[in-house]
Structure 1
Amino acid sequence: MIEFLNFIPLNLKAMETSTKSLISIEKSKTSKIDKVDFDNLAFGSVFTDHMLVCDYKNGAWENPKIVPYGPITLDPSAKIFHYGQSIFEGMKAYKDIEEAIWLFRPLDNHKRLNISAKRMAIPEIPENYFMEGLSALITLDEKWIPKKAGSSLYIRPFIFASGQGFHASPANEYKFMICLAPSGSYFSGKVKVLIEETYSRSANGGVGYAKAGGNYAGQFYPTQLAIEKGYNQVIWTDDNTHEYIEEAGAMNIFIRINDTLITGPTSDRILDGITRKSIIEIAKDENIKVEVRKITVTEVVEAAKNGSLKEMFGAGTAAVISPISTFGHKGTDYDLPELQESYATRLKNRITDIQYNRAEDKFGWRYKL
């Protein structure tokens, strides 16, 4: 089933060892692309023809391989199943009107993946394995990048424990993989959220700042309870008092009171979102007053009551910005006003114009493949 086998030399300048490494490419004999309806893409449910796989064995990362997309085989005692050593990133690739391919702040994703790896006792992935493996994979499957407005190629790099054994200790073998999924817009419309008063997403000294799979698994049950009450998502509060607002679902959260945009500081509990950082810088460039500080539930409720609460929105890779239309707290729902010129729309347009190469990138965030 192999059409050809090719080898791409890695950039030795970035190598952490003296061993010459190669990315091998095993091209799929047939493509699934003709069966895909690119006008109706659900998020993260259709996958491209190839994926990148790289194994960690005997204390070192082996040569990365690009192979046809498909199932992988793991021993039932693989530690991912028992002790949850799993981390991931979320990224996108975009095509501009001239069909050039762009990434958005990919080195930040690599850095954050290794921050997560360190916290979860997973070996860090070298920058050149990440960047050049990513480039080779996207270039091979570049026809899968959708062109419809608002669509993109979602990129999922991840690492998990593949080593065997029931003993409670870090694995001795791991897999680094990258899979690609052409996707339409992640969210449509505004979101109704419930401020959480019982459950917590993370705690001081924990792994809330890492993109660890278990963080998201722990969110599903409280979120399902909120859905059963008629909400779409949960606003997470601190684990001690449930008085400080921290995140919105799987996204960072921004709150606009009068003309000031407020977001919580990153910590052990809050993910250092790349979209979050971008919004802060763009808002300052737009002369929007930004405050990075703790914000209480009481402050938000009082602002909603007196009319000074103008906007709330989530920020993350998949949706970029997801406006919140209503929040619930202690049995009462508070509707946010409909604004003709919202910060959410203004900031999202600035970010997406940079991502799709429609506007100047004065921040140096775009990365051309």
Structure 2
Amino acid sequence: MEFTENLSTNRASDQERARVLANPGFGDFFTDHTAVIDWTANADGNGGSWHDARIEPYGPIALDPAASVLHYGQEIFEGLKAYQHADGSVWTFRPHANAARLNRSAKRLALPQLDEEAFVESLRRLVQADRAWVPTGEGEALYLRPFMIATEAFLGVRSAREVSYRVIASPAGNYFGGELKPVSIWVSKNYARAGRGGTGSAKCGGNYAASLVAQMEAEANGCKQVLFLDEFNDNAVEELGGMNVFFVMKDGSLVTPALTGTILEGVTRSSIIQLAKDRGMPVTERKITLDEWREGIASGDIAEVFACGTAAVITPIGLLKNGDELIGDEQATAGEVTMSIREELLGIQLGTVEDRHGWLEKLA
């Protein structure tokens, strides 16, 4: 797919950009450009085509008040990072896996499929246009947010016939801020992130919107994230508001909740499973309940617990708050296996550890 360029004449100055990169936070600042590809359905309603691929200045999106995305939430998104390596080149991690997941989400939300190579090229062209925005501090990266929205103006309940795919970028520091240390997690008893037959396995905004009230409850109780359970399946552990969960067992094996259709299949999750298998660690994807978590911590059968996702990579979990019940230790230190896998994964992403599986893709 050929991209045209309409580069901004009002880019951030070197001084403005330096101020942002000195303390980027997460998702607070955005680069000068955006990548865009439009889709229009065929006149007969059978299929459609992508067109007008372009790089243009970052700015507000003009939408008709009747745009489908505003009324029926027909949208999906992805998240990945671009990392600067020691030689100054910029790479991203497993973009084809993100492209494939975007298409799985698109199918579930009745949106059009986007060619994987067009997805990767949109990242490449945006990063090349905004190369100066890639941060170089320890643990920092340029966060890339591809998304797809239904833009057709109509109020009938059907899939939209006009769609826009876009990519924006934001320099990013540590997701949880400051020094990496185990976080506290709140158990949600009143809310569910997704249900069976729903959109839990799709990366769509509605799932995150449904998690926000529970996230607010977690924060009110001094926790960084919220844990969702399946109350109809023995309170099986599902996932956090935006992260998958792993358990390091005393016998050296790794356990993570099985994908049941209500859990998002994280790219970081699948990467960790592969790296663990490379080490000879047994990995099991199965049901693990809140009771097993509680009893495993008490008995020592569960040695470490961590969460993972693109934004935070790997974050150790120290304490689980289940109402007044405390499971774990708020003062715990990060586990040895957790940190070892984290360092290996980050090393691959940053180009300091061999990329045995060909996961890296050069962008600039």
Decide: shared fold, TM above 0.5: yes
Q: Is the 8 A contact 1:64 1:129 kept in 2?
A: no
Structure 1 equivalent of residue 45 of structure 2: none
Task: Work out the CA distance in 2 between the residues paired with 1:280 and 1:218.
Answer: 28
Task: Work out the CA distance in 2 between the residues paired with 1:144 and 1:69.
Answer: 13
Task: Work out the CA distance in 2 between the residues paired with 1:182 and 1:130.
Answer: 20
Structure 2 equivalent of residue 172 of structure 1: 161
> Counterpart amino acid of 1:182?
P
User: Relative to 1, partners in 2 of residues 1:305 and 1:293: Cα closer, same or farther, differing over 3 Å?
Assistant: same
Task: Work out the CA distance in 1 between the residues paired with 2:286 and 2:132.
Answer: 43
Structure 2 equivalent of residue 7 of structure 1: none
Task: Work out the CA distance in 1 between the residues paired with 2:312 and 2:323.
Answer: 28
User: Relative to 1, partners in 2 of residues 1:349 and 1:223: Cα closer, same or farther, differing over 3 Å?
Assistant: same
User: Relative to 1, partners in 2 of residues 1:363 and 1:128: Cα closer, same or farther, differing over 3 Å?
Assistant: closer
Select 1:46's aligned residue among 20, 25, 29. Answer: 29
Gaps of 5+ in 1: 1-9, 11-21
Structure 2 equivalent of residue 68 of structure 1: 57
Is 1:91 equivalent to 2:80 in the alignment?
yes
Q: Is the 8 A contact 2:193 2:241 kept in 1?
A: no
Task: Work out the CA distance in 2 between the residues paired with 1:242 and 1:209.
Answer: 20
Is 1:27 equivalent to 2:7 in the alignment?
yes
User: Relative to 1, partners in 2 of residues 1:239 and 1:332: Cα closer, same or farther, differing over 3 Å?
Assistant: closer
Q: Is the 8 A contact 2:37 2:166 kept in 1?
A: yes
TM-score scaled by structure 2?
0.92
User: Relative to 1, partners in 2 of residues 1:340 and 1:332: Cα closer, same or farther, differing over 3 Å?
Assistant: closer
Structure 2 equivalent of residue 110 of structure 1: 99
Structure 2 equivalent of residue 362 of structure 1: 356
Gaps of 5+ in 2: 42-47
Deviations 1:269-300 (A, max 9, x none): 01111000010111122233322111011111
Instruction: Map 1:163-312; keep pairs closer than 5 Å.
Output: 163-188=152-177, 189-241=181-233, 243-258=235-250, 259-312=252-305
Structure 1 equivalent of residue 38 of structure 2: 55
Please report how far the alpha carbon of residue 339 of structure 1 lies from its aligned counterpart in structure 2 after TM superposition.
Answer: 5.0
Partner-residue secondary structure (3-state), 1:363: coil
Is 1:154 equivalent to 2:143 in the alignment?
yes
Please report how far the alpha carbon of residue 330 of structure 1 lies from its aligned counterpart in structure 2 after TM superposition.
Answer: 4.5
Deviations 1:123-162 (A, max 9, x none): 1112232122221111111111111111001000000110
Deviations 1:7-58 (A, max 9, x none): xxx3xxxxxxxxxxx3110011132152032121110111111101111124
Structure 1 equivalent of residue 44 of structure 2: none
Structure 2 equivalent of residue 4 of structure 1: none
Please report how far the alpha carbon of residue 341 of structure 1 lies from its aligned counterpart in structure 2 after TM superposition.
Answer: 5.2
Deviations 1:82-132 (A, max 9, x none): 100010000111111110111100000100000000000001112232122
User: Relative to 1, partners in 2 of residues 1:107 and 1:340: Cα closer, same or farther, differing over 3 Å?
Assistant: closer
Is 1:343 equivalent to 2:320 in the alignment?
no
Please report how far the alpha carbon of residue 196 of structure 1 lies from its aligned counterpart in structure 2 after TM superposition.
Answer: 2.2
Partner-residue secondary structure (3-state), 2:5: strand
Task: Work out the CA distance in 2 between the residues paired with 1:93 and 1:33.
Answer: 22
Q: Structure 1 residue runs of 4+, over 6 Å off?
A: none
Structure 2 equivalent of residue 139 of structure 1: 128
Q: Is the 8 A contact 1:203 1:239 kept in 2?
A: no
Partner-residue secondary structure (3-state), 1:315: strand
Q: Is the 8 A contact 2:316 2:334 kept in 1?
A: no
Partner-residue secondary structure (3-state), 2:3: strand
Partner-residue secondary structure (3-state), 2:56: strand
Task: Work out the CA distance in 2 between the residues paired with 1:80 and 1:56.
Answer: 14
Task: Work out the CA distance in 2 between the residues paired with 1:148 and 1:298.
Answer: 41
Partner-residue secondary structure (3-state), 2:7: strand
User: Relative to 1, partners in 2 of residues 1:33 and 1:299: Cα closer, same or farther, differing over 3 Å?
Assistant: farther
The percentage of aligned residue pairs carrying the same residue is 38
Between 1:47-56 and 1:259-268, the stretch displaced more is: 259-268
Aligned residues: 349
